[in-house]
Amino acid sequence: MVGVQTPGLVVGDTVGVRYQVLERLGQGGTADVYRVRHKYLGAERALKVLNPRCAHVWRRLLDEGCVQSQLRHPNIVEVFDVMDVGGLPALVMELIEGPDLEQWIKIHEPALNEVLTVFRGIVTGVSHAHSNGVVHRDLKPPNILLGKGAYWLHPKIADFGLAKLRASTNGVRTHAGARLGTPGHMAPEQALDSSNVDWRADLYSLGTILYAMLWGMRPFKEGGALRLLHEVAQGKRMEERSRGEVVPHEVHRTLRALLQSDPARRPADCRAVLDMLDGEPQGMPVRGLQPDLEADQEPSIYDEATVRLPPPKPMGMLWLVAVLVAAGGVGLGVLVVVLAMSWQVP
């Protein structure tokens, strides 16, 4: 309703001359998101405005817009423009009507064909980012939005605010030793030094996403730093729940490969991940970011399954604990480092 007050903006306000605020869609840790309509074209967009309490991370929001605006792909949320809203940076983005992946998993227990269809779309989007020299560094279910088509879900990767660029001129500025990401979804090596991770850190995060889609939970117990450390070090994932349908060997094998603590033992790239799901042998790890996935792939992955969309529900904030397990040396040498801290994730 026009005139209803919302924090930061009033519904009915004109923003940047061209956009009218329709409603507030949600509030995150660092930004508020509004539904807006272009006054002349009639197109509806999402407007992501930095929260005034988080002005210290304004550079990160601009980095997010810069990275996403260059990654044009059906499985990545598109950014159209950067604006100034009351002295705060804001992004004009593609409006995604569906829930995020975490909400969908909680509400709708997806069938195996739904899981694999959505997961393939996520992997395809990540492959496109990698082929353009971008490592996301914060892949997790809340950062995967599910767009509604007539019959299908379209996974869309969002929140590139922690992304690392191969040629780091416009990406997030990460100092050596800095720790960025979400414990429970980030690779062990990322907890030590986020500035030195490569595309294989995203592959580990893809493993945690696939695990959550299959069994509705994270791979490792979260009963404190030491327990999580032990579980990751020993590779003792939580007991998998019954799905009422058999999970194929190829899926288990792909999951084990993605969740390897040693980056060198993970699949070579996103193409290798899809090959493993199809029963092909795992590719050998190679150096450098990998070629784009879509060059010789089928035009669409969305017509394999019909997915029922539940309504979204608001998300809460988590206090996060980071744990690193680094295995190295020859033979039985194992180095264990515990990092306990408060994390602020955009």
Q: Under DSSP, is residue 88 helix (H, G, I), strand (E, B) or coil?
A: strand
pLDDT at 329 > cutoff 50: no
Cβ neighbours for 6, distance < 8 A, ≥ 6 positions apart: 21, 23, 24, 34
Class of domain 14-93: alpha beta
What pLDDT score does 150 carry?
62
Section 50-64 average pLDDT: 81
Query: Rounded mean pLDDT of the chain?
Result: 75
How far, in Å, CA of 25 to CA of 158, rounded? 15
- Is 68 in contact with 56 (CB distance < 8 Å)? no
Confirm if 157 and 75 have CB atoms less than 8 A apart.
Answer: yes
Rounded CA-CA distance 308/323 in Å is 36
The residue type of 174 is: T
pLDDT, position 335:
32
What token pair was written down for 262?
A: 């040693």
Determine the pLDDT at residue 5.
Answer: 38
Both tokens of residue 11? Answer: 């519904």
Residue identified by tokens 């590719």 is 283
Window from 2-16, 50-64, 270-284 with minimum mean pLDDT: 2-16
**Are the C-beta atoms of residues 163 and 128 closer than 8 Å to each other?**
no
The count of other CB atoms within 10 Å of the CB of residue 9 is 19
CA pair distance 276, 258, nearest whole angstrom: 11
pLDDT for 63:
87
Higher pLDDT, 2 or 115: 115
Average pLDDT estimate for 34-60: 89
Residue 145 pLDDT > 60, yes or no?
yes
The answer to which of 28-32, 154-158, 303-307 has the lowest mean pLDDT is 303-307
Q: Give the pLDDT score at 222.
A: 64
Provide the b/e sequence for 107-139 (b: ≥16 CB within 10 Å): ebebebebbbbbbbbbbbbbbbbbbbbbbbbbb
Of 149-153, 209-213, 241-245, 317-321, where does the model show the most confidence? 209-213
Per-residue pLDDT for 21 more than 90? yes
Within 13 Å, how many C-alpha atoms sit on residue 319's CB side? 6
Q: How far apart are alpha carbons 150 and 163 in whole angstroms?
A: 32
* pLDDT value of position 184: 79
Question: How far apart, in whole angstroms, are the C-alpha atoms of residue 219 and residue 206?
Answer: 12
pLDDT, position 81: 93
Q: For 101-337, give the CATH class.
A: mainly alpha
Distance of alpha carbon 344 from alpha carbon 330, whole angstroms: 36
Non-local (6+) Cβ contacts of 223 within 8 A are none
Q: Where are the domains of the chain?
A: 14-93, 101-337
Predicted confidence (pLDDT) at residue 176 exceeds the cutoff of 70: no
Predicted pLDDT of residue 234 = 54
Per-residue model confidence (pLDDT) at position 151: 64
At 19, is the secondary structure helix, strand, or coil? strand
Q: How far apart are CA 95 and CA 173, in angstroms?
A: 28
Q: Is residue 66 helix, strand or coil?
A: helix
Sorting pLDDT into bands at 50, 70 and 90, what band is 240?
low
Q: Report how far residue 65's alpha carbon sits from residue 92's, in angstroms, rounded to the nearest whole number.
A: 9
What percentage of residues in the chain have a pLDDT greater than 90?
45
Catalytically active residues, by annotation? 138
pLDDT-derived band at 193, boundaries 50, 70, 90: confident
Q: What percent of the chain stands above pLDDT 70?
A: 66
Asked if the model's pLDDT at residue 253 lies above 80, the reply is yes
The pLDDT, as a whole number, for residue 242 is 56
Predicted local distance difference test score (pLDDT) of residue 236: 55
Location of structure tokens 């605020």: 21
Lowest mean pLDDT among 70-74, 180-184, 263-267: 180-184
> What is the pLDDT confidence band of residue 232, given thresholds at 50, 70 and 90?
low
- Rounded average pLDDT over 164-187: 61
